[in-house]
Amino acid sequence: MTELSLEQAKIQVNELRKKLNDWADAYYAKDAPVVEDSVYDKTYSELQELERKFPELVTPDSITQRVGGDLKSELTKVDHPIPMLSMGDVFSKDELQEFDQRIQKAVGHPVAYNVELKIDGLSLSLEYQEGKLVRASTRGNGRVGEDVTANVRYIKDVPQKLPEPLTTEVRGECYMGKEAFAKLNEQRDSEGLQVFANPRNAAAGSLRQLDPKVTKKRDLSTFIYTWVNPPQGITGQHQAIEGMHQLGFHTNETGKKLSSLEEVFNFIDEYTQKRNSLTYGIDGIVLKVDDLSLQAELGNTVKVPRWEIAYKFPPEEQETVVRNIGWTV
Ligand code: NAD
């Protein structure tokens, strides 16, 4: 293949960014994707590769350098002093091995990972003051999200009050189970309304409503997996999840603290098999360095934490059913 000149690369980079920006707008702002995730991911990788070869073309507003989409909704905006970031992803076990080598090189020794299911929903922050839920917000662009407190009051598994008067913030995923998603789309179809493309978009479209009464009618759930400011004594991700579970949060019971990649690969194989039989959608497996002090040491890039990575499942054939979802391409 002939090498691209800087000028040619610039043209390609601009074309890829334009496509990705349009798709991201449909996905994040309108909750109505126009292409499949695998198409988006492939195009994103092409842009990343070009930016790696031509670092002088990287700009702060490139989609590879920012989280989520533009904040266009009329919902009240909420600052996230501790940003809600995106996550790096890989598509093969070889790339996971490279991730593990990078981590070991950075910290100087092997580490244990908390391995979790990657829930197909949207990130949610829950803030408590003296044990009472005072604010819920979406990730938005990572630094500024949308206030969805009134809507979240209708999500049954979100505790309105904690058993202890804690002032704290937890984060997790808001999702719609497969059964609730099928029912909602059946109902919308019978009413002649556009059906949702997938459970992720149904969850986002149901949570990001100006009228909380609409959210009330939708069957949303949560899995909470991040304790932003855990109490002293909590030193690991696995322990943090157990602690949040004890406080009454809905946590996912499948997460495991594993200390070898072989065990991680077995976990991946197990859930690649079990994926379709779960009652909620997952689109991959997340590896998180378990030790919270190592997480702090490794830190973040502008877009993703360095201490976690998502292994994404290959796309499923059934996702290409176009009639039902009203995709425009
Ligand atoms: P992402 O959704 O791939 O990964 C980060 C998110 O994973 C986190 O913000 C969190 O909400 C979620 N998550 C689920 N389970 C988790 C767990 N156990 N621990 C931690 N986080 C967990 O990243 P993103 O930046 O939100 O979106 C990028 C992805 O969205 C793309 O890879 C693409 O697949 C999809 N996308 C698709 C389109 C499209 O047009 N189809 C457009 C934009 C984005």
Query: Residues 136-195: pLDDT tens digits?
Result: 999 999 999 999 999 999 999 999 999 999 999 999 999 999 999 999 999 999 999 999
CATH architecture of 6-65: Orthogonal Bundle (1.10)
Query: How close is the Cα of 54 to the center of ligand 1, in Å?
Result: 26
Strands of the chain (E only): list them: 77-79, 89-90, 113-119, 122-129, 132-138, 144-146, 168-176, 220-227, 256-258, 282-289, 308-312
Span 210-237, pLDDT tens digits: 999 999 999 999 999 999 999 999 999 9
Cβ neighbourhood burial of 5 (10 Å; 0-12, 13-18, 19+): exposed
Domain boundaries defined on the chain = 6-65, 77-320
Task: Indicate the CATH number for domain 77-320.
Answer: 3.30.470.30
What are 3-41's pLDDT values in tens digits?
A: 899 999 999 999 999 999 999 999 988 888 999 988 999
Q: Residues annotated in the binding site, as ranges?
A: 37-41, 86-87, 116, 139, 173, 288, 312
Residue with tokens 């590769």: 49
The residue whose C-alpha atom lies closest to atom 17 belonging to ligand 1 is 118
The neighbouring-strand residues paired with 114 are 257, 288
Catalytic: 161?
A: no
What is the value of pTM for the model shown? Answer: 0.93
Q: What is the pLDDT of residues 120-144, one digit of tens each?
A: 999 999 999 999 999 999 999 999 9
The pLDDT assigned to 32 comes to 87
Question: Above 60 in pLDDT, residue 320?
Answer: no
Ligand 1 atom showing the smallest separation from residue 173 Cα: 11
Q: Do domains 6-65 and 77-320 have the same CATH topology?
A: no
Mutation test of ligand 1: which of 37, 65, 290 has the most ligand atoms closer than 8 Å to its C-beta? 37
User: Which atom of ligand 1 sits closest to the CA of residue 69?
Assistant: 43
Beta strands at 168-176 and 144-146: parallel, antiparallel or unpaired: unpaired
Residue of 18, 19, 118, 213 with catalytic role: 118
Give the pLDDT of residue 327.
Answer: 28
Mutate to test the pocket of ligand 1, among 44, 86, 275, 303 (most ligand atoms within 8 A of CB): 86
pLDDT one-digit tens code per residue, 246-283: 999 999 999 999 999 999 999 999 999 999 999 999 99
